[in-house]
Amino acid sequence: MRRSDTATQPKFRREPPDSRREALISATLASLSELGHEGLSVRRISAHAGVSMGLINHHFSGIDALVAAAYESLAARLLARSRDPALALVGEPLAALHVYFSASFAPQALDPAIFRTWLVFWSLVPHSPELRAVRERAGRETRVTLETLLSRLRRQPGVCPFKLGPARIGLSALMDGLWVELSLDPASFEPARAVSLCDDWVRALAAGAFPALRARAPGLSGSRTPRTSPAAS
C-alpha cells in the first residue's frame, strides 16, 4: 500500500539485537512515563515499540530485566545531564554547584512524567535485587559527584571545613525533597526557588552555619575525601 500495489512491503524489519534492545528500553520508559504502573506491561510496552509482545521475552530474560535496563538507562541520562556541566567548572566550586542545581531543576528534569517513571522504579526496588543493584550503582555515582563538588568547595580559602559525608547527605536530601515536591505539584513553587534554596544551603555550609557538620580539626584533617574504594557507605 505504502510502497507499491504490486510489490508487497515487508511485514517487519529485522534489527540487530542491540538496536532492538535499545528501542525496547526507550519504549519502556515512554510507557512508564505515560501510564505509571499501568504502563508496566509486556503488551503495552511492545505496542509502544510497534513490535509484537514476544520480542521482549526474546531479547530479555523477562519483564524484570527490561525494567532494570530501563532504570539504568534513565538514571545514567539524568545523572549525566547535571554532573557533566558542573564538573567542567573546576575553578569555581560555588558556580559549579550552582550549575549542578540549575541543571537538576531544569524543566526537562522536572517533567512529571519522569517522576511517574521514577516512582515505579522506587516501588520495585524492595522486591527486586536487580533493581536494588541498579539503584546502588546510581546512588554511588551521585555520591561521588556531589562529594567531589563539595570537597572542591571545602578546600577553597575562607571556607569553614565541614564533614564531607554528612554534608553530602543533607544536600542530596534537600535536592531530592525539592524535586519530589515539584514533581508532585509543579505549581507549589518556582524551580528558581529550589535552586536558590540549594545555593543558600551551600553558602551556609561554607560559612560554618551548620554546627553539626563542622569538622573537628579546622585546618587540616580533611576528615573524609571522596573515594572510589568499595568501603563507601
Partner DNA sequence: CGTGCTATTATGCGGTCGCATAATAAGCGG
Partner DNA sequence: CCGCTTATTATGCGACCGCATAATAGCACG
Under 8 Å between Cβ of 172 and 101:
no
Cell (9 digits) for 95: 558556580
Under 8 Å between Cβ of 194 and 182:
yes
Q: How far is the CB of 23 from DNA (least distance, A)?
A: 9
Q: Which of 42, 87, 144, 174 binds DNA (CB under 7 A)?
A: 42
Q: Is 130 in the site for DNA (CB under 7 A)?
A: no
Q: Which residues bind its own copies (CB under 8 A)?
A: 36-38, 112, 116, 119-120, 122-123, 125-127, 135, 139, 166, 169-170, 172-178, 180-181, 184-185, 187-189, 193-194, 196-197, 199-201, 203-204, 207, 209-213, 233
Measured between alpha carbons, how far is 148 from 213 in angstroms, rounded to an integer? Answer: 17
58 binds, among its own copies, DNA, none (CB under 5 to 8 A by kind): DNA
184 binds, among its own copies, DNA, none (CB under 5 to 8 A by kind): its own copies
52 binds, among its own copies, DNA, none (CB under 5 to 8 A by kind): DNA
Considering only CA atoms, which of 109, 119, 112, 135 is closest in space to residue 37?
A: 119
SS3 122: helix
Q: Is 63 in the site for DNA (CB under 7 A)?
A: yes
Measured between alpha carbons, how far is 198 from 25 in angstroms, rounded to an integer? Answer: 33
Contacts of 21 (CB under 8 A, 6+ apart): 59, 60, 69
Show the binding pattern over residues 2-41: x = contacts DNA (CB under 7 A), - = does not: --------xxxxxx-x--x-------------------xx
- Cα atoms in the 13 Å half-sphere on the side-chain side of 222: 11
The residue ranges that bind DNA (CB under 7 A) are 10-15, 17, 20, 40-44, 51-59, 62-64
